[in-house]
Amino acid sequence: DDADFEYKIFNGDGSSAAQCGNGARCVGRFIHEQRLSPKQNIALQIGDELMRLEISENKDVRAELGKPQFDLAQVPCTLDSSGLEHELKLGHVAVNAGILSMGNPHAVILVDDCAATPVGKIGPMVQALEIFPDGVNVGFMELESRDEVSLRVFERGAGETRACGSGACAAVVHGITMGWLSPKVTVKLPGGKLEVTWRGDDHPVWLSGPALTVFSGNIDLQ
C-alpha cells in the first residue's frame, strides 16, 4: 500500500528477475521523464519487496536495495558451511566465494585480474552447482583500493552483462564484511561506474549512478 508504482523485470531468456538494481533506477528515470509523479523520492514494489528511489536534480537515481541476507538457507544455498567465505568445488579446482542475497542470490569471487578472468567459463560452472536451487549471479571482483573495485558479473538468465546493480552491491557488501573495503565504494563495470554505500550491520545498501534514455518507441503486444 505504500508503493507509488509496481514493476516487474524479465531477463533476456524470458525468466522473471527477483531483483534488479539498475532496472529500478531506470524505472525511476522513466517515471521522472514521463512526469508520472512529481516526487523526488519514489517507492517501487517488486514482488514482496519495497524499494526506495531518490532522484537528484541532475537526474541521477539512487536506489535502496535493502539489507543483505547472509543466511545461506535464505539465499537460497544448500551448502553446509559457515563463515564469511565458502569453498565451491568446480571439478578439480576449488574457489572461495562470498554467498549472500540482495533480494536475489549472489556468489562473489575475488580475482587478481578482472579483465583476464574467464568469466564465460567459470560463471556457468558455478551456476551449475546443485547447491544453488534457484541459480545464482556470479560476480568476479578485483580490488583496486579500499574505495574502488573492478567487477564483472555472470547473471542468471542473461550471461555476462555490461552492468549489474545488485551484483555491484553484493560485491561491495562482501568486501566490507571481509575488511577489504570502505563504506562507500566506486564499482567499475564494463558498462560504466556505480557507487555503492553500506554502513554495515542492519543498514540498507544504497546504489547510485547515472540513468540515461537510449531508446523510445512502441511495442505491439497483439
Q: Which residue has the cell 519495497?
A: 50
- Tell me which residue of 3, 48, 34, 22 sits closest to 191, measured CA to CA: 22
DSSP 118: -
Which residues are marked as active site? 20, 164
Instruction: Compute the distance between CA of residue 140 and CA of residue 160 in angstroms, rounded to an integer.
Output: 11
Burial class (CB in 10 A: 0-12, 13-18, 19+), 164: buried
Q: Are strands 61-64 and 16-17 parallel, antiparallel or unpaired?
A: unpaired
List Cα–Cα distances, 189 to 45, 51, 55, 74, 160, in angstroms.
26, 23, 22, 27, 11
